[in-house]
Structure 1
Amino acid sequence: MTSGTSVDVLRYTAFPDTAFPDRPAGGNPAGVVLDATGLDDAAMLAIAAEVGYSETVFLFPGAAAGSFTARYFSPLAEVPFCGHATVAAAVALARRSGPGELLFATRAGEVPVTVTEENGVPRATLSSVEPYQEPVTADDLAEALAALDWPSAGLDPALPPAIAFAGARHLVVAAATRERLAELDYDVERLAALMRRLDLTTVQLVWREAPAVFHVRDPFPVGGVVEDPATGAAAAALGGYLRAGGHVPDAATLTLHQGHDLGRPSLLTVTLVPGDPRVHVSGTAAPIPA
């Protein structure tokens, strides 16, 4: 099907922080196509570019109730997995058919999603594919810091840099202070070139406020977006990284604040369960008024 065919694209914002009712534009916008049957790759990329959000998710209904193949496109390219668009799609489905269990088959693997209702508000919890971590070389880290214009002395030695995966690859870099995290004016082309070479989706910049509270920022130049205001895939990757490194207990509920520096406050909850290798990321989503 060509991109000229009429397609119903819903627009949602995922992971808004409801503690800021005076700033209703919180969260990360996502395009949602609940039935993409007949759309080819070129059409999906064209629609995502036209929508202009960091990702648009395209669902292809499966044979079993509640099962879908999910594909995610930024304005520039397809990505293997996107957490905020998954939450947006799950909430959109729940608003149509009610809460329940869903299963998204993604390029990264199967991602179960549970949608519940809390005070009449749908809340989605995705369960990531099994995470992994790998070291980042000294040269690659130096290049990342140069692109970010961050001195190595400004990093938190308690959270060493690493590449983390839970559906997509992210470079985790921890700042020693909130002030360092707030200073983000990076070389877009230089960082994008490094990210393409390392097959990174975002760079997950982190500052730890408390044992279970983190502030994060996610440059996303490879997707045509300077910075993501809420990144569920990176949140899952960070949860796996923190658990694997012994930085949090095996049973933990982590709060991630994102988007505040962009004026789009976002809130993501990461849950780690003993004996369960997956990372669980929860949040709400709301339709964006036309």
Structure 2
Amino acid sequence: MESNLTLYRIFNSVAATGNISRSSKELFISQPAVSKAVQTLEDNLKMTLFIRSSRGVRLTEEGALLYEYTKSAFDTLSEGESTLLRMKELGIGHLRIGVSNTLCKYILLPYLKDFIKKYPHIKITIECQSTYKTLELLGQNKIDIGLIGRPANLKGMDFYEIQKIEDIFVSTQAYLDNLNQQLSKSHRRKPAISPEDTLDIISNSNVLLLDEKNITRLYVEDYFTRNNIKTNQLLEVSSMDLLIEFAKIGLGISCVIKEFVQDELTSKELIELPLNPPLEKRAVGFSYCKDAFLSQAVKHFIDFYKERSLR
């Protein structure tokens, strides 16, 4: 564009008012400056845009055509400014959150329920995938916030812990009784399960774990390696919900998150197997790139979860 936006803005004002004096007052610049700007634009375009007279100015055919475009452009800009102000006043915006299916169901949904009540105009997009994929999308600025288990290396990420989770092994009492009968053919096992029994049970059971692309799976396998635990039969499952359901039907021993099976443990539908040493609790929280641009919607959500965690 050979002529800058200021020249078109002055042209648009003169065309709308039909008078250089009124345009000067509207734009808060001198009449000579207005006249010079119009002349400069005409020189740049190499055509006459106005016919001057003692009563003011009127558009030429070329000027009228150009005015159709400048009026549309400046009306669009004005509408854009109004929309931005309305977004700011009403809290309108777009928030993109990355999270695993498990954390989405058990942790994120309660946050979103209260957040939406406070900011009903914010559009929310949920990307459900593994923590590793969430971290990748954060690094590519394809999502704004990630709800993740704290990784070993945050690599330029801000992480705000909201709770701890504990990984445990569970099964039905019927499955344990049946396994106990098989393992005690040579000697009778004690009714109560000790941590030492658990290691023996895991080594001789169907062990159900999340698939290899999950950060929880790597955490558990690291525990197995450090404690020299061998598994006889390993079954991979794609979600925490399936791990819980398969354990409840007696398919084997599932590694699940304790906070998500409290009802089943209380009713004794599932039995927790004691571990020594236990799996250390892990931190779960919201994360975002420190150098990323934070929209108003993202800032609202950050303030929201920090405020909620203090209650």
Q: TM-score, normalised by structure 2?
A: 0.24
Which has the larger share of helix?
2
Which has the larger share of strand?
1
- Larger Rg: 1 or 2? 2
